[in-house]
Amino acid sequence: MTLKELSLFIQAEDTRLRSMHGNYEDEEKRLLARTVKLSEEVGELSEMILSHCSFQRKEKLEVLSKEKISGEFADVIIVCALLAHAMGVDLEDAIEKKIKIIEERHKKHLETV
């Protein structure tokens, strides 16, 4: 899936979520709800990573699977993209700019070594 395809999915998902959960007049409330949801998803991913590293109770280790971990990564990305969409952030543009900054930083670091 490309970032363009993700963006189209996010637009459709945002519309679906608004129809399911109400179209809040207060956009700040929506942003805060999505931020809390992102925290929840990051927490679930963290649990899976702890399980992967065998730092969880035995019961939690028994439900560990590659598919569940993959799903948690996807949940974090989707909710993050929904939050970015709600804030008017073009993720494709933001990621491209950030990659350039990182590459320049590494290039400068290599020049000083």
Q: 58-103: per-residue pLDDT in tens?
A: 777 777 778 889 999 999 999 999 999 999 999 999 999 999 999 9
Residues 6+ apart with CB under 8 A from 26: none
What is the number of other CB atoms lying within 10 angstroms of the CB of residue 55? 11
Residue-number span of the structural domain to which 74 is assigned? 3-112
The full length of the chain comes to 113
With cut-offs at 50, 70 and 90, classify the pLDDT of residue 30: confident
* Amino acid making up residue 7: S
Between 57 and 85, residue with greater pLDDT: 85
Residue written as token pair 């019961």: 59
Residue 38: CB partners within 8 Å, gap ≥ 6? 76, 79, 80, 83
User: Would you tell me how many other CB atoms lie within 10 Å of the CB of residue 18?
Assistant: 12
CA–CA dist 33, 23 (Å, integer): 12
* Number of domains present in the structure of the chain: 1
Answer yes or no: are the C-beta atoms of 46 and 52 closer than 8 Å. no
**DSSP H or E stretch at residue 63:** none
CATH number at residue 35: 1.10.287.1080
